Structure 1
């Protein structure tokens, strides 16, 4: 006997996939190489390139479509498939949001660095400011944890009135991510 929630599950999977694709578009549209080749190995530009790599990896990761057979008829089988799709879409969106937040932190670093350098090259007068910017970037990136992203997305979803009754736990998301890394 079906629980009657498959329509909610379908709608939620569609929302999650829409969010994921929007994030992927943003992640892949940001430049990853500086105009000045001397900046290539700086922390912010390295973070930008890592975000692009991580974004491509999550996009290239195939969906896990292996769903055990469910007893109880086609509605129960559909429920099992939808729950698997739900976990996959939810986890992809989580990872994309994490990448996006890291990318945004690196973009701020790039803007601040450009302001400090005022279009010129690094020199001894601004080195302490540049080191401070590097430290700020490391601090900003350290805040972007799975727990932080999960809580942020949950707050956003509930604020938009989305159905979240069956959202996977953070542990389930982390297991999904680990299983895709290799």
Structure 2
């Protein structure tokens, strides 16, 4: 009954966990507090702090360790266990990618804001430009969707020649993520 794909499943899990680890390192390395505390509650800095919290949460949430017993012997049981671990790793990577993209948008916002302010503190003359920066940040954050992330990551995996035959569907990833909120 064994399908002989457990080595591919194991390699896929290793790739997913490596990607997740790298994303977590990027997420953790981003500063979340502005130099000037007057900027603490601005949209971009608030988004960065939320990304840090979300990154810590996805790192700390428990894995689903319950795997149903299957018939067919140890190879089939190993297949079921690897598929469960793959869903967990795939979903964590997906969420970490979403956090990373949100961080990048917030960091661009900081750059735009710095260009507007040019070392000055905000004043009435900056209001329209700073509002435009905030609006652009909201547009960029809204564009970071589960659908786009899933599609981009699948495309990237395919281009890297990774084995994706049994990758979980977006629906399964979203269900996994909802269960951990």
TM range (shorter): over 0.9
Partner Cα distance (2:22, 2:167) in 1: 20
Match of 2:95 in 1: 95
Equivalent residue of 1:50, what SS? helix
* TM-score (normalizing by structure 1): 0.98
Deviations 1:103-158 (A, max 9, x none): 00000000110111011100122110000000000000000010011011011111
Match of 1:56 in 2: 56
Q: How many residues align?
A: 181
Map 1:66-81 to 2 at 5 A. 66-81=66-81
**TM-superposed deviation, 1:62:** 1.1
Partner Cα distance (1:39, 1:159) in 2: 41
Q: Provide the aligned C-alpha RMSD in A.
A: 0.5
Equivalent residue of 2:138, what SS? helix
Map 1:29-68 to 2 at 5 A. 29-68=29-68
Point out 4+ residue stretches in structure 1 off by more than 6 angstroms: none
Match of 1:157 in 2: 157
* TM-score (normalizing by structure 2): 0.99
Structure 2 unaligned blocks of 5 or more: none
Match of 1:147 in 2: 147
